[in-house]
Every structure is written in C-alpha cells, then in structure tokens.
Chains A and B, each alone.
Chain A
C-alpha cells in the first residue's frame, strides 16, 4: 500500500467540484432581498474544492489506516468487539426506516413504533426488568438517565438527604463521572482479594445518605459478584437503589437476569452486547430498563401499545423529563432488534456460553506466561497483570504495541485500575478456536521476546504506518485543526 499522508485540505484546487445540484427552479432573487444584509457574510467559505474522485480516494485511503473487527481479532476488554452482522446494516437502510421524519403523525410511524415496542419487550425479558426507555444515546448516557431516575425516586419520597452514590474501585470511569454529573458525591469501596465487592466494606458505608450503588456484574475483572443477593439486601435495607452497568451483559444473556438479582435499574450497551457497530467511537445506544416502582420516573416519551396501535406516551407521572432529542438512536435500535430476531432465545444463550468458554480457555492458556492476579472461573473476560518476571523492563504498553506488529488490536490496557499492568482480554463468542490459538501464540511469542530481546518490544510497533505518536507533545501544544 502506498504511503498516503494527505489531509483533505491539501488536495484542494480552485474550481473543482464534487457535487451537482439541480438548477434553481424558483425565481432567483438576490439573497440580500430576502435576508437583510446585516445577517449575511461577504466572506468566502474556507472549505476545500475537490472532485468526487478526490473525496472517495482520500477516505478510502484513510480507511486503510484503520483496523476494525472485520480486519481481525479485537479482544478489547469491556468493549465486546463482536462481529457486526451485515444484515443489521441493510436493515437501517430500508426506506421506511432511513427516510422517516421523527415528527410525522402517528399513523405514519406505526412500523417504527412497533419495532421500538418489540425491542423494549425483548430487552425487558432479557434483563428481567419491567419497562425500558430507549432514549439514551450511549452507555454513559444510560447511566446518567438511570441515576436521574433514582434521584427522582428519592425526591418523590421526600428523601432529600441521600446525596451519595457508591461505586466499587473496579468500576468504569463513567460510573463516578455520571454520579458526579447527576449531582452526587461518590463513595468508592475497595474490592476484596478475590476482586469482588467487599460486603463488609459496603455495610460500613451505606446509610440514610445512600442514594444507590452502581455495579457491573460480572465486574470489570470478568468475575461474577456471587454475593449479589447480600449486596442487594444491604443497599435496599439502607433505602438505596441498585444500578446495573450492562457493559458486561454479554456474559449472562439467557443465563441470569439483573432484574432477578435485585437490580432496580439497568442499562445495556447495544453496541456491545447486541452487535451494533462501534463506528470508530459511536454512535451507540444505551437504553435503560427499570422495575415497576421506577416506571413513573422514566424520561418521556415511552413507547406503549393500545390494542393494535403503538404510541409515544408523554404521560409519565413523575418523569425526569427529556434526556435526548426525539426518541433515541433509532438506527442503532433497529440494528439491535435485527440481531435479537436473528439470534433468538437459543442464539443469545449460545452467544453468552461461547463468550465465556472462549475467555476461560484463553485465561487458562495465558496464565502460564503472564500474571493472572486473580485466578478463578471467569465470565466473558479476564485481566492479566503483565509479565511474570517482576524485574522485566517490558511494560503492558510495550506488549500492546508489539501486538500491533503481529496484526492484532491489543486488549484494553491499564484498566481496571486495581490490577497492576492490567491487560484486559475479552474474546467474545464470534471468534474461532483457531483465532484464539493464534492470538495465544502471539502472546507467548511476546513473553519470550520480553526475555530475549526486550528492546524489540520497547521500540514496537515496527510495522505500522506510525509508531508511538507523541501524546505529551499533542497535549502540551494542542494543534486541533489544520492551519494551512
């Protein structure tokens, strides 16, 4: 592949055009006769001038600088980089979905509402909850919506002294950030030596100021919180609510349900568990589900059914209000529902089973070559703690960079924060045993290289188009736009 190094602006040549619009067919008045001159700009727009071929080649070349799930194995822990089925992409492009204005009258949108309603029911069944809001745009947005629902619940009970949200130290960064954004103080509790919530520590911090606990189960170490019944009891007895961060829900599809474990609010990341693409950072979707007692606080509108008719219900008695324009990321909802229809109850259960089998298989093989600080039965992912040799100068970052040379997207690194030199591996169910074996071999090769030729790793990657871009320089002297 040729070494392509242009910005789109550097391709511009005066006079080129990549578009053609129909001739204006209404009377061509001067714009200043329609809009007063004081509003109009007399400056030219500083946008590039290109041909269509320029644009297509440029972005095709950029795509070649990317790595996706379709390129190869992407064992990025906590991100569930499973295969993104192609029929999902076709589904959102169906005319009746893609070209549907959100504010059309009810009789024009029945198909869209039916899909949303059926997705709502399906996600409730999968999670064991009673009603969903499909509005949140992402996992973090679902968290925020869910915590606002919990806040509204306490406020309706006249319970204004509950100003703290508890999160384990293994939690995703979004959990404390969300709770802070919702106006809460954060209490962090330490995990015990098994990587689980320390129930005694939890008991010590709960009280009449506890609004709730945010928990991921299985947690970010890939371990199921076995004491969940006791955890739920402790939080509920203190008058708090239990929030389920669904980032790791791929481990339990059809095996267990957060609603049955005592959770009051859950969110799902449809872009993880339900196969919608990550799109280079988004858009995703983070619908939330709640138990009956919290339904009256959901954001408006919710999708309801009356006889054969589906409708948007704005009449939610104590709604927190709106959290998002229109009704959520409909295009993502369509993809997720397509996946649920395709997989069915049997396929979803098979998916979680194989995701867990793959993770345990890899953990068991890799622990001979890498630290596995907590060695137990894992769910969908596991966390290594760097190389076995404590004196090795090779860090987790070096291992990750060397994996790039070997054709892989590295696992999540340096998270969760409670594991030193963390390497968080989530294979998902869509990878074959051959792929897992090849990756294991690559990891073994790197462990050997770390002993024999550490410099090779310190300087990795060697085969990529750029290598270790200087992040310190980027932050110290920010260049955030092209100035040419």
Chain B
C-alpha cells in the first residue's frame, strides 16, 4: 500500500534492497533479537484518509466549549486576549515551522533574527539587561530561575509567596526535591505577600525570594519593598513573575530591584489551546548572563563583515557541558516566540499599552458592577490589574453552572487551592470583553439564588 507521506514505490524498494545486498525488508530488522520482534500488528486502527481523520477530530473538537462560542471570564494563568490575524498567517509559513533549532546559521537567519528581536523586546518590556530565547512556560520559568539562583548563591532555601500561582509552586517543589533544595512558603496577608513573614524567613540560607505581580489574585505586589527585604540576605536573588502585558503600564521590574524577571507570555498572541504550548520567558541583570538556562542568540558578523546572528554562550548548555550544564533544556518555544514577537511589534508602542489599559479599565468596571449590590463582596481590598476575586454565600460550582447555562465561562474557584477561601471566585477581564458581556455576567450573577 502507498501512503501520502512515504514516496518509496515497490520498485524503489527492490532496487534499494538489491543495492544493499538484502533479500527482503524483513532482513533490515534481523539485528533485533527474535524474542523482541513484534510478531503482530500494533493494536491500533488501520490507516485512514484525510477526510475520515478530519471528520473524527472535528467531532472531538465539537465536544468542547470554545471561547469563541462562549464568553470567557476565566483566567488564573491563561488569558483570552485578542490575537491579530497576521500572527497565524506568518507562523504558518513553513520556512518557519518546519525548520529545526538554528544550528546552521547560514540558513537559519530568519529564526535567529526573530529570537534576537524577541530578546530585545523582552528586555525593553522588563527593563532587564539580558533575555534568553524562551522557556517552556511561566511555571517552569519560575523554577529555572530558582535553580539558577541556588547555583548562583550556593544556598538552598527558596522562599516563595503563597500568592504565587499554586501550580507554579507545585512545579518548584517537584524540581526542588530532586536537588535537595528547600521550598519555604511565605504567608499572605489581605491578598498580598506578608512582608513581615517574609522578613522573618529571609536569612543566611536564602537563595531566592520569589513573588508574582500581578499575583494569582490579580493584585499588584509591592516589589520594591519585597526586594529590599530579599536583598538583606547576602547573594539572595529576587525573582518576580510578571504578566508581560501589564508592563506596558506598570513600572518596570528592573527599576524596583528585581534581579530576575520571568513570566508567561501566552496572552501575547498564543491561543488558549487547552493549556499549551505556551511561552515562558526569563530576563535578568547582567551578572546572570552566563548562568541563564536555554538558548541565547547573539549578533555578530560573518566572514565578509556582514551583520548576522548565531546561537551563543553555548558553553552553558547540555550539548557542550553535558552534566555540568546550567539546565538540561535544549529546546525553546520557537514558533511561539515568533507569535509573541509578531504580537509585540504589531501592537507596538501604543497598542500594548491600550490592551493593558482597556483590560484594566474593563476589569475595574466589572469589579465595581459585580460588587455593587453587596451580594458579592471583594475578597481583598488591594489594587489589581485585570483579575479580581469576589466572595459570596453561593457555592462556586453553582455559579459556574448558572453562568454556563447563559453561555458564559465563569471564573476560577479559589477554594480548590486555598481552603480558607472556599466561596471565592477569581474573574479575569481582557480587552476582548464588551460592556454588554460584562453587564450580562453581572445580571446572571445577581440572579443566582
């Protein structure tokens, strides 16, 4: 049988076998011990036509509720921001998506250059000196930063605020266990990191202090004050996880004493896609340059003096250093880096700011309207960006179900991760939401008994 992706004809096969000096295709596998040869077909369906496959997958996709059919007020780490049309068109160019890691710079200048542009944009957004070519996602980026801090400081205590996204903290704990590092959680007070508790926990063994701002509740943390406490410990690294869109209007982490900035860039041009693939980033002050994990692109000149780009500082990496590498990571999020780069330059100087402002203004409108009658109360009284939490007497599952009836994807049930917040729900509002949609959310919420 012939298959669309396999061009070898029966005649080719015979010629090739003869050329090698074999009599049958079976002989190609004669080096596999007989007892390990699979003597049956794999227990999978037989090959299918494109039409059948497409139809089956469409059926599966249609069993899900998409954010284009429903109105999404769910965030908690993944956001329904608008994605400009041009992104999908450009990332669909197969010169980009069918290429490998740019090991051969002469035929990879396209990839290398957009990574260089990405690094520049991330540095400008965060105010940091250097950025890498990306990491898997925002959660693992926190962990990579923490491991870098432990290696840098040669200390073993990783302090992380309880206002950091719970899943991020779980990932950190998983990795930390492997390296015998201690994860110490810092308490929260009124929805932000409890700085007194932090102060009591920072000490001689502190490798890193990790906070998130806007934090998991959408609230802005006092980075400056946190950094001052963190830096009381000699060599301790202050790490902040941020929403890159918020940085279009907020003070830059670099001005606030942050040493390493990480974050999740999914909101910048990458579809929700049921949680991945997304885009982690890491940016740092200069002293961390040679300690960063992952790929880094640098500018240089070719043998004729022409500006060109290459993967650089590879002496940190696994394919050179093997067990002494700064991390085992060998991919970057390539195509998603391209998507975010296109997003950032398409929105540009004014657009990213407008996305941030509209999201913040709409979120505050929603917050005021939801809490107006008193049925839903603000969980915390702190400045927030595009997400906020409210609490009520109603069970969050009841709220979710009632909203779904009205074609609304409701907020995140905070009780899942914070038992003390059992009736609290976290709502996210992006620039995509209209006044009409927000008003409908509010009226459905008001009507729930």
Say whether A96 contacts B346, CB under 8 Å.
no
Say whether A325 contacts B106, CB under 8 Å.
no
Query: Which chain A positions have C-beta within 8 A of B401?
Result: 105
Query: Which chain B positions have C-beta within 8 A of A105?
Result: 400-401, 404
Given known contacts A21-B354, A320-B174, is B106 in contact with A228 (CB within 8 Å)?
no
Q: Within the assembled complex, what's the spacing in Å between the Cα atoms of A252 and B36?
A: 11
Query: Which chain B positions have C-beta within 8 A of A379?
Result: 31
Query: Which chain B positions have C-beta within 8 A of A45?
Result: 124-125, 248, 349, 352-353
Query: Which chain A positions have C-beta within 8 A of B36?
Result: 228-229, 256-257, 260-261
Q: Within the assembled complex, what's the spacing in Å between the Cα atoms of A474 and B296?
A: 11
Say whether A470 contacts B318, CB under 8 Å.
no
Say whether A278 contacts B100, CB under 8 Å.
yes
Query: Which chain A positions have C-beta within 8 A of B99?
Result: 66-69, 278-280
A179 adjacent to chain B (CB < 8 Å): yes
A192 adjacent to chain B (CB < 8 Å): no
A304 adjacent to chain B (CB < 8 Å): no
Query: Which chain B positions have C-beta within 8 A of A84?
Result: 94, 97-98
Say whether B173 contacts A344, CB under 8 Å.
no
Binding-face segment, A111-119, A388-396, A445-453: A111-119
Say whether B113 contacts A52, CB under 8 Å.
no
Say whether A25 contacts B435, CB under 8 Å.
yes
Say whether A62 contacts B312, CB under 8 Å.
no
Binding-face segment, B60-68, B153-161, B185-193, B200-208: B60-68
Given known contacts A39-B250, A141-B136, A281-B100, is B325 in contact with A177 (CB within 8 Å)?
yes
Given known contacts A87-B53, A329-B277, A361-B19, is B5 in contact with A430 (CB within 8 Å)?
yes
Given known contacts A353-B25, A481-B130, is B276 in contact with A344 (CB within 8 Å)?
no
B56 adjacent to chain A (CB < 8 Å): yes
Q: Separation in Å of the A320 CB from the closest CB of chain B? A: 6
Query: Which chain B positions have C-beta within 8 A of A17?
Result: 348, 350-351
Say whether B324 contacts A68, CB under 8 Å.
no
The 8 Å CB contact of A140, one of B60, B66, B272, B331, is B331
Say whether A344 contacts B45, CB under 8 Å.
yes
Query: Which chain A positions have C-beta within 8 A of B101?
Result: 278, 280-281
B194 adjacent to chain A (CB < 8 Å): no
Q: Within the assembled complex, what's the spacing in Å between the Cα atoms of A151 and B351?
A: 48
Q: Separation in Å of the B384 CB from the closest CB of chain A? A: 8
Say whether B330 contacts A173, CB under 8 Å.
yes
Q: Within the assembled complex, what's the spacing in Å between the Cα atoms of A461 and B302?
A: 11
Query: Which of A17, A122, A173, A328 gathers most chain B CB within 10 Å?
Result: A173
B76 adjacent to chain A (CB < 8 Å): yes
A36 adjacent to chain B (CB < 8 Å): yes
Q: Separation in Å of the A121 CB from the closest CB of chain B? A: 9
Q: Within the assembled complex, what's the spacing in Å between the Cα atoms of A176 and B325?
A: 9
Which residues, 320 to 347 on A, are CB-close (under 8 Å) to B?
A: 320-332, 334, 338, 340-347
Q: Within the assembled complex, what's the spacing in Å between the Cα atoms of A100 and B58?
A: 14
Query: Which of B6, B78, B272, B434 gathers most chain A CB within 10 Å?
Result: B6
Given known contacts A66-B110, A99-B68, A433-B8, is B102 in contact with A281 (CB within 8 Å)?
yes
The digit string for A267-297, where 1 denotes a CB below 8 A from any CB of B, is: 0000000010111111111000000000000
Query: Which chain B positions have C-beta within 8 A of A174?
Result: 318-319, 328, 330
Q: Within the assembled complex, what's the spacing in Å between the Cα atoms of A348 and B45?
A: 11
Query: Which of A40, A223, A281 gathers most chain B CB within 10 Å?
Result: A281
Say whether A349 contacts B92, CB under 8 Å.
no
Say whether B334 contacts A279, CB under 8 Å.
yes
Say whether B119 contacts A325, CB under 8 Å.
no
Say whether B319 contacts A56, CB under 8 Å.
no
Which residues, 261 to 319 on B, are CB-close (under 8 Å) to A?
A: 264, 271-278, 289, 295-304, 306-310, 312-315, 317-319
B33 adjacent to chain A (CB < 8 Å): yes
Say whether B329 contacts A329, CB under 8 Å.
no
Say whether B334 contacts A325, CB under 8 Å.
no
Given known contacts A18-B351, A341-B56, is B124 in contact with A47 (CB within 8 Å)?
yes
Q: Within the assembled complex, what's the spacing in Å between the Cα atoms of A327 and B56?
A: 22
Say whether B349 contacts A181, CB under 8 Å.
no
The 8 Å CB contact of A282, one of B45, B46, B335, is B335
Q: Within the assembled complex, what's the spacing in Å between the Cα atoms of A22 and B110?
A: 33
The 8 Å CB contact of A326, one of B20, B38, B274, is B274
Query: Which chain B positions have C-beta within 8 A of A469?
Result: 105-106, 300-302, 308-310
B347 adjacent to chain A (CB < 8 Å): yes
Given known contacts A82-B5, A331-B276, A342-B47, is B61 in contact with A478 (CB within 8 Å)?
no
Write the chain A residue with the least CB distance to B42.
Answer: A345
Write the chain B residue with the least CB distance to A253.
Answer: B42
The 8 Å CB contact of A94, one of B61, B329, B358, is B61
A204 adjacent to chain B (CB < 8 Å): no
Which residues, 2 to 35 on B, are CB-close (under 8 Å) to A?
A: 3-8, 12-13, 15-17, 19-22, 25, 28-33, 35
Q: Within the assembled complex, what's the spacing in Å between the Cα atoms of A279 and B355?
A: 28
Given known contacts A19-B348, A31-B249, A103-B78, is B42 in contact with A348 (CB within 8 Å)?
yes
The 8 Å CB contact of A224, one of B32, B310, B384, is B32
Say whether B20 contacts A260, CB under 8 Å.
no
Query: Which chain B positions have C-beta within 8 A of A252?
Result: 32
Say whether A56 contacts B335, CB under 8 Å.
no
Q: Separation in Å of the B444 CB from the closest CB of chain A? A: 16
Say whether B90 contacts A56, CB under 8 Å.
yes
Binding-face segment, B229-237, B360-368, B373-381: B360-368
A5 adjacent to chain B (CB < 8 Å): yes
Query: Which of B76, B96, B119, B348 gathers most chain A CB within 10 Å?
Result: B348
Which residues, 409 to 429 on A, are CB-close (under 8 Å) to B?
A: 409-410, 415, 429
B93 adjacent to chain A (CB < 8 Å): yes
Q: Separation in Å of the B30 CB from the closest CB of chain A? A: 7
Given known contacts A8-B345, A26-B361, is B53 in contact with A341 (CB within 8 Å)?
yes
Q: Within the assembled complex, what's the spacing in Å between the Cα atoms of A29 and B365?
A: 9
Say whether A94 contacts B57, CB under 8 Å.
yes
Say whether A466 contacts B105, CB under 8 Å.
yes
Which residues, 20 to 46 on A, are CB-close (under 8 Å) to B?
A: 21-22, 24-29, 31, 34-36, 39-41, 43-46
Say whether A97 contacts B61, CB under 8 Å.
yes
A255 adjacent to chain B (CB < 8 Å): yes
Say whether B352 contacts A55, CB under 8 Å.
no
Query: Which chain B positions have C-beta within 8 A of A35?
Result: 220, 249-250, 360, 383-385
Q: Separation in Å of the B150 CB from the closest CB of chain A? A: 12
B37 adjacent to chain A (CB < 8 Å): yes
Write the chain A residue with the least CB distance to B179.
Answer: A183
Say whether A108 contacts B310, CB under 8 Å.
no
Q: Separation in Å of the B435 CB from the closest CB of chain A? A: 4
Say whether B82 contacts A255, CB under 8 Å.
no
Say whether B116 contacts A354, CB under 8 Å.
no
B121 adjacent to chain A (CB < 8 Å): yes
Q: Within the assembled complex, what's the spacing in Å between the Cα atoms of A347 and B53?
A: 14
Q: Within the assembled complex, what's the spacing in Å between the Cα atoms of A138 and B42?
A: 25
Write the chain B residue with the least CB distance to A25.
Answer: B435
Say whether A98 contacts B8, CB under 8 Å.
no
Say whether A59 contacts B309, CB under 8 Å.
no
The 8 Å CB contact of A176, one of B170, B264, B323, is B323
8 nearest interchain CB pairs?
Answer: A326-B275, A96-B61, A111-B63, A102-B275, A68-B98, A344-B47, A279-B335, A283-B277
- Can you report 5 residue pairs joining A to B where beta carbons are below 8 Å apart? A105-B404, A180-B328, A182-B178, A325-B140, A345-B42
